[in-house]
């Protein structure tokens, strides 16, 4: 009798242990994680931090991924080295947010030879063979810029400034990055189409607030006759506004300097509400779920779209509200 009781007890303990294991939903066995190497440009802006966050959340262990994250610290050589490391570590997928468009052919050929699919996010790459990447998720930067110049045209008209000289400063993003190329190209196009628009200065702020502050200070030392500052992201707009205000200039559509920005982060929209930023064109950094979806489809050998542009909108100082800012996810 005593023996039967102890056998039953042992059995009970065994069953309850197995029960604990199956709580994970994997029947006690760990499901194989998908190994992804993600190579980020760096942490230059508020937008970038939101982008990294979105990727980390979507490609979490809980969702079935082993994510190897690499911060390129704004150097293409670092990014190339990271990709080579990912190849050595035999990752299943490589996700690359390229700092600039060119210079990727050899390393992407290495990834292709190793049979590792590459997904490009945010900025684009210019490669000799399109097959060197499997899919792209990001923004149409030329369209973002065209939205900005169309808005400027309309506002100048509304204020009766459409035939007067319009003196524009362009604080560019990282030279050679798709975000810079597209946004600057839209401004160039508009400059060609408006004989009264004049580009008085063009410098790179590298998408970074302190750098933009520095270049704006230098420009202001040469001229204060400025109508518009076309910044290529929010961080640059913050730096430019600081320099403009320290120089005693007012920022705003009504009689001040019109500051245009891109990203529409919570902080950027707060400046839009204060009137310092007149227009903030949205650039969506929440790309993680799209990348996860592509990886899932590729794992099931399903077809994926080669190019996916995220839907984006814009906000200006006339229509922005506290409620819009409170609902903002980044």
When the beta carbons of 44 and 227 are compared against ligand GYE, the nearer one is: 44
We find the least distance from the C-beta atom of residue 330 to ligand GYE, in angstroms, to be: 11
We find the least distance from the C-beta atom of residue 301 to ligand GYE, in angstroms, to be: 31
When the beta carbons of 122 and 227 are compared against ligand GYE, the nearer one is: 122
When the beta carbons of 92 and 271 are compared against ligand GYE, the nearer one is: 271
CA–CA dist 112, 136 (Å, integer): 16
We find the least distance from the C-beta atom of residue 245 to ligand GYE, in angstroms, to be: 21
How many residues would you count in the chain? 330
We find the least distance from the C-beta atom of residue 26 to ligand GYE, in angstroms, to be: 37
When the beta carbons of 237 and 243 are compared against ligand GYE, the nearer one is: 237
CB 182 within 8 A of CB 145: yes
When the beta carbons of 87 and 205 are compared against ligand GYE, the nearer one is: 205
Q: Which of 73, 113, 104, 108 is nearest to 94 (CA)?
A: 108
E-state strands within the chain:
34-40, 65-71, 93-96, 118-122, 135-138, 166-172, 197-204, 228-231, 258-263, 279-282, 307-309, 314-316
We find the least distance from the C-beta atom of residue 85 to ligand GYE, in angstroms, to be: 23
When the beta carbons of 116 and 262 are compared against ligand GYE, the nearer one is: 262
Strands 279-282 and 314-316: antiparallel
| Contact footprint for ligand GYE (CB under 6 A) | 44-45, 47-48, 122-123, 139, 179, 207, 233, 235, 262-263, 283
For every residue of 202-259, DSSP letters joined together read EEE-TT-HHHHHHHHHHHHHH----SEEEESSHHHHHHHHHHHHHTT--BSTTTSBEE
We find the least distance from the C-beta atom of residue 44 to ligand GYE, in angstroms, to be: 5
CA–CA dist 282, 264 (Å, integer): 5
């Amino acid at each position: 009798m005593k023996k039967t009781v102890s056998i039953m007890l042992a059995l009970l303990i065994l069953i309850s242990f197995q029960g604990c294991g199956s709580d994970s939903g994997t029947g006690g066995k760990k499901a194989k994680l998908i190994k992804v190497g993600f190579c980020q440009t760096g942490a230059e802006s508020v937008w970038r931090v939101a982008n990294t966050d979105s990727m980390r959340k979507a490609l979490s262990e809980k969702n079935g991924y082993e994510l190897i994250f690499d911060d390129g610290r704004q150097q293409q050589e670092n990014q190339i080295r990271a990709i080579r490391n990912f190849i050595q570590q035999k990752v299943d997928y490589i996700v690359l947010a390229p700092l600039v468009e060119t210079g990727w052919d050899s390393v992407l050929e290495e990834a292709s030879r190793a049979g590792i699919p590459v997904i490009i996010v945010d900025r684009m790459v210019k490669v000799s063979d399109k097959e060197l990447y499997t899919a792209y998720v990001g923004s149409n930067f030329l369209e973002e810029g065209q939205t900005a110049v169309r808005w400027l045209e309309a506002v100048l008209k509304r204020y009766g400034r459409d035939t007067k000289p319009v003196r524009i400063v362009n604080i560019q993003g990282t030279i050679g990055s798709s975000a810079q190329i597209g946004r600057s190209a839209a401004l160039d196009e508009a400059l060609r189409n408006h004989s009264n628009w004049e580009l008085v200065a063009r410098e790179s702020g590298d998408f970074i607030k302190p750098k933009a502050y520095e270049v704006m200070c230098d420009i202001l030392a040469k001229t204060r006759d400025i109508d518009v500052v076309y910044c290529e992201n929010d961080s640059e707009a913050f730096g430019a506004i600081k320099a403009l205000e320290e120089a005693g200039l007012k920022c705003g559509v009504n009689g001040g300097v019109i500051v245009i920005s891109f990203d529409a982060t919570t902080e950027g929209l707060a400046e839009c509400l204060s009137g310092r930023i007149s227009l903030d064109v949205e650039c969506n950094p929440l790309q993680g779920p799209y990348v996860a979806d592509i990886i899932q489809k590729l794992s099931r050998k399903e077809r994926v779209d080669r190019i996916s542009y995220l839907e984006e909108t814009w906000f200006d100082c006339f229509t922005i509200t506290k409620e819009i800012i409170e609902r903002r996810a980044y």
